[in-house]
Amino acid sequence: MTDSTAGRVALVTGGSGGIGRAVVERLAADGYAVAVHHAGNAARAEEIRDQVTAAGGRAITVGGDVADEEAMARAFDATEEAFGGIDVVVNTAGIMLLSPVATLDLADLDRMHRTNIRGAFVVSQLAANRLRPGGAIVNFSTSVTRTQFPAYAAYAASKAAVEGMTLILARELRGKDITVNAVAPGPTATPLFLADKSEEQVGRIAAMNPAERLGTPEEIAGTVAFLAGPGRWVNGQVLFANGGLA
């Protein structure tokens, strides 16, 4: 904990997931009170909450579909009721469904659009209206917007939309003392990334960056912690955390 983080409150969407969990753990260790959001896996969110509180931190769980503005308004309400306000919103919630464009099931496109684009918009809209001065909004993109890996077109398109929204919102919040940035991880060792990939595929992707390994959720969480706290002069940016991949 530092003087800059003491008393601050963070809401982390997708906080029961791989990167989301690492973000919760890092912010809690930095002294934030944290609302751990889940979209259905309440037991895992409660496990993380209990882990934080057992270590002397403050945490609650909140649930809801990120694309449902009423459900997310209730999540914001619960966080404010528990901790008195919100300073940081980290929007890690997202889904990744891979397919070449030619054979993509359009239902998968719609699912990603709802969660990755509408969900990010709903959460950012609420945050823009409810964060305290000195706050930070951290959205999530992907390094695939640069690397252009085959089969990632629909996912990359959804995250490119998040980048555009993030950069514009930063400028719209002029005078409110709220920063808005996006983190664009490279390949990171999470269940979302590793799903349905062979060991050979994972090794090939890991070798693409100069460090010749996958990133870790904790490394991405460190980037988020910088933007949420000391990185006040970074605003309206997409920060690529990918070990030099692109």
Look at residue 1 and tell me if it is in a domain. no
Question: Model-level pTM?
Answer: 0.95
The answer to whether residue 205 is domain-embedded is no
Q: What is the DSSP string of 27-64?
A: HHHTT-EEEEEESS-HHHHHHHHHHHHHTT--EEEEE-
Number of domains composing the chain: 1
The per-residue pLDDT for 5 is 72
CA atoms within 13 A of residue 12's CA, in its CB half-sphere? 30
CATH label of the domain that carries residue 57:
3.40.50.720
How does pLDDT run across 56-112, given as a tens digit for each residue? 999 999 999 999 999 999 999 999 999 999 999 999 999 999 999 999 999 999 999
Whether 161 is covered by a domain: the verdict is: yes
Q: Where are the beta strands (DSSP E) in the chain?
A: 9-13, 33-38, 59-63, 88-91, 135-140, 178-185, 238-241
- Mutual angle of helices 153-172 and 119-130, in 10-degree steps: 20
pLDDT average, residue stretch 8-14: 97
Of 165, 169, 143, the closest CA to residue 156 belongs to 143
Residue 105 lies in a domain: yes
Confidence band, pLDDT 50/70/90 cuts, at residue 205: confident
32 a catalytic residue: no
The one catalytic residue among 155, 156, 183, 243: 155
Confidence of residue 2 (pLDDT cuts 50, 70, 90): low
The reply to whether 190 falls in a domain is no
Domain residues for the domain of 231 are 9-185+218-241
Instruction: Provide the pLDDT for residue 198.
Output: 87
pLDDT score of 3 more than 70 = no
| Inside any domain, residue 155 | yes
What is the Cα–Cα distance from 118 to 34, expressed in whole angstroms?
Answer: 23
pLDDT at 193: 79
Give the pLDDT confidence score for residue 172 in this predicted structure.
98
Q: Please tell me the predicted confidence (pLDDT) of residue 69.
A: 98
